[in-house]
Structure 1
Amino acid sequence: MEEVGTSLAALVRAAARRRPDAPAVVAGDRRLSWAELDAAVDRAAAGFAAHGLAAGDRVAVQLPNGLDWLRASLGALRAGLVVVPVNTAYTDPELEYVLGDSGAALLVTAADRAPVGGVPVCAGPPDADGPAPEPPDEPTAPSFLAYTSGTTGRPRGAILTAAALRANQEQCLAMTPPPVREDDRVLLVLPLFHVYGLNAGFGLVAATGACAVLQETFDPVVSLTVMADEQVTAVPGAPPMYQAWLAAADALGNDAALRRGFAAMRMASSGAAPLPEDIWRAMRDRAAVTVWEGYGLTEASPVVASTLATGRAKPNCIGGPLPGVELELRDTATT
């Protein structure tokens, strides 16, 4: 690993020192350089300290993709806190369960509301003057408590350390070509509360000093316009996104907008579910884009396999293990 500190907040600081004036985030009309983002993270960290929170306390963040999500989560990390990313679609009972199970001391939401399950609420990321806390860098300490989807029961929290997140970034970036480079502009519409968008998305942006183009929600037509206007060169995606982009082109009766959106694309990837072969081939034939598929899981921070690791893109395939990763296939019926 590079000696730049392990947490996402430390990577932001390193990018700010290395490329202070380079674009870090585009979110609608709002744009921040790495130096500006770093300063905003400092103010949020000072704000958490002003709330009386101490290193190791857990802060739940229930915000949509955007600058506020980055300020809240990165500010909490810089203050030495553990971030609990919360699905914005949770009902109040689901939210109360996660808050209680995680032991959250504060909930950051988009709008003010009454405490939930006895947990106080902060509307938006806190902001304060003064120096940010400077807790020691502890790579093996928890950074995130990420809750799984709960497909087989209630969501369960997976502890992700700074070292685990950083290791997965390094493993991804060791592939050729890398999924994100310093000169990339990366569309981040995958939810940042999910580990895919969190680390395979923003984590790689912070590790390389690239630029994140954030979208709060996914709209295929709007996103194609944003991709064309911002000259997006990389997109971590999921099968429904590619299906929606193709469907939008079908509805328009031509592939002009589809091709404009992907005109600058260097790297398109897909995970979270199998990508149907007809969609993979349609993206290649109609958008002139090769989609690289992979597989991951929350507990692995998250990527463990990719067709990028084998250098051969093909449908119905998750490729091989990332550099430094060992995989073993077992039959759950016999083990």
Structure 2
Amino acid sequence: MNTTARWHSIPELVRSAASRFGDAEAVVDGDRRLTFAELAEQVRRTAGAFASAGLGPGDRVALWAPNSAEWIVAAFGLLTAGGVLVPVNTRFRDEEAHDIVVRSGAKALLVQNGFLDREFAGPPGVPVIDLKTDGFLGSGEPLEREVGEDDLADIVFTSGTTGRPKGVMTTHGQTLRGCEEWCRLAQLRAGDRYLIVNPFFHIFGYKAGLVASMIRGATVLPLAVFDVERVLELVEKERVTVLPGPPTLYHSLLAAAGGRDLSSLRVAVTGSADIPVELVRRITAELPFSHLMTGYGLTEAGTVTASRPGDPYEAVAGTVGRPCEGFEIRLADDAEVLVRGYGVMRGYLDDPAATAEAIDPDGWLHTGDLGELDAQGRLRIVGRKKDMFVVGGFNAYPAEIEGFLLKHPAVAQVAVVGVPDERLGQVGKAFVVPSGEVSEAELIAWARERMAGFKAPRQIEFRTELPLNATGKVMKDQLS
């Protein structure tokens, strides 16, 4: 078993993919088709464009755009110029995104105006480049800078229970080793056609998607917005073989698949939420998939555990598998899942206190998830110590949402919890003590204008008071 990746950096991987796979299709995005060789050339020229714009090794650039060929060229071009990628969630509103752009120290912001009928403005003093219209991509002289495995590759922001997103720092070497292991467990192979529904701003889409495809020579088909009819059309037309996503994706596929030719599908990968045993059975019995992998991962460490081929339905559905190569797992006295291994982040950007709180002196990452281990060493996630809930595959943090709602002049106190939802798994419900006149519809609409849709509460319940314990903390177990 390899203990290190075969490449020292993501740019080296992209160049290697060009030499190994040459004229094979690397990216299919609508009418745009790029071979691996063409992609590598576009990446080199985009690296030159970044250099011409004054961006040097270690400089950070934020990328606030949907899945597209342009996103891929921009990201790999930036890394080839020695820069550090800061992906930004396209569902974020300006206030949320600008906070990340400013705190990351990004020297430029790349956007795609018009996506979801929005204009993506940058914070004051940060140049904004439109990926589709500004002619920036591929506009420079070909450039390749020396990038090493210990150099920082990206800063991916993830929210925490303090309510403020934290920047997770990861190196090229960590990413490459983790993605090679993911490829092996997911059984990704050369010639696969990989429809990437998971957003590139998330490590599932960016690393287990783009980087993994460069490793194995799979064709990337980026999807900007999930639409089940568009997914079915692409599976048929492009003979898609690999289709990862949250459980909601497969629910939609099963409901709409009648009469469509999905025979090309081979690999399914999920794990963003609890999966019913019956859904696992249906994915493999009613759809053509011959391999279904579930797993457990987090931005701070990548993919930590995964199921193995041959695992029974109950194990695939009820657990998140066994530790991946290079990772250790143990449970603390309170059943919190602790993780140690090569993939654990270098730390949170400019936040040594939060880093020390998350990673103890022995190198164990405290995940905030509560778990159990079965007799075969498989991990089962049983709860979330950090009060997080998952909306359609996206992590939502009550403290962050509460912070936004408290900015409304009619909100005196608020507590947010996750409640069950048939389609999305969980959604947010806010318990509000008002200080003025406001309706449920008005407050929900106000929230949707100021935060990502998955964060905005779907239900509001007004209370005259919230249940508090002796120290003044809200007892959320008494809210439902």
Normalised by the size of structure 2, how large is the TM-score? 0.63
Number of the residue aligned with 1:183: 191
What does the per-residue CA deviation read over 1:238-290, in whole Å, with 9 as the maximum and x for residues that have no partner? 111112212334xxxxx222xx22x1122111022222333222223322435
1:210 corresponds to: 218
Cα contact 1:99–1:117 (8 A) shared by 2: no
Larger radius of gyration: 2
Deviation at 1:329, TM superposition (A): 2.2
Mapping of residues 86-165 of structure 1, within 5 Å: 86-111=88-113, 115-124=122-131, 125-132=136-143, 134-150=144-160, 153-165=163-175
2:259 is aligned with what amino acid? A
Greater relative CO (CA pairs within 8 A, separation 6+): 1
Give the match's secondary structure for 2:331.
coil
Quick one: which amino acid aligns to residue 119 of structure 1? V
Distance of aligned partners of 1:166 and 1:114 in 2 relative to their CA distance in 1, 3 Å threshold: closer
Report the Cα distance in structure 2 between the residues aligned to 1:234 and 1:173, rounded to whole angstroms. 11
Distance 1:99 1:196, change over 3 A: same
Which residue number in structure 2 is paired with residue 171 of structure 1? Answer: 181
CA RMSD, Structure 1 to Structure 2 (Å): 2.1
Asked if structure 2 preserves the Cα contact closer than 8 Å seen for 1:309 and 1:321, the reply is no
Worse overlay, 178-187 or 217-226: 178-187
- Name the SS for the 2:43 alignment partner: helix
In structure 1, what is the equivalent of residue 411 of structure 2?
Answer: none
Q: Percent identity of the aligned residues?
A: 36
Please report how far the alpha carbon of residue 310 of structure 1 lies from its aligned counterpart in structure 2 after TM superposition. 7.0
The residue aligned with 1:266 is 266
User: Which among 319, 341, 356 is matched to residue 317 of structure 1?
Assistant: 319
TM-score of the two chains, using structure 1 as the length reference? 0.89
Gaps (5+ residues) in structure 2?
114-118, 337-365, 367-480
2 CA distance for matches of 1:54 and 1:308? 42
2:41 corresponds in structure 1 to: 39
- Return closer, same or farther for 1:49/1:316 CA change in 2, 3 Å cut-off: same
Cα distance in 2 between the residues matched to 1:232 and 1:151: 38
Distance, in Å, in 2 between the alignment partners of 1:171 and 1:144 is 19
Q: Is the CA contact (8 Å cut-off) linking 1:61 and 1:107 kept in structure 2?
A: yes
**Matched-pair contact (CA < 8 Å) for 1:309–1:323:** no
Distance 2:145 2:41 in 1: 17
Q: Is the 8 A contact 1:27 1:214 kept in 2?
A: yes
Q: Mean Cα displacement is larger for which, 196-205 or 112-121?
A: 112-121
Q: Counterpart in 2 of 1:5? A: 8
Which letter maps to 2:139?
A
Amino acid at match of 2:201: F
**Count of residue correspondences:** 322
**Whose strand fraction is larger, Structure 1's or Structure 2's?**
2
Look up the SS of the partner of 2:61 in the other structure: strand
Distance 1:96 1:332, change over 3 A: farther
From the two aligned structures, give the one with the greater helix fraction: 1
Cα deviation code 1:12-70 (max 9, x no counterpart): 11010112101101111111100010011111111111111111010000111011100
SS in 1 for 2:190: coil
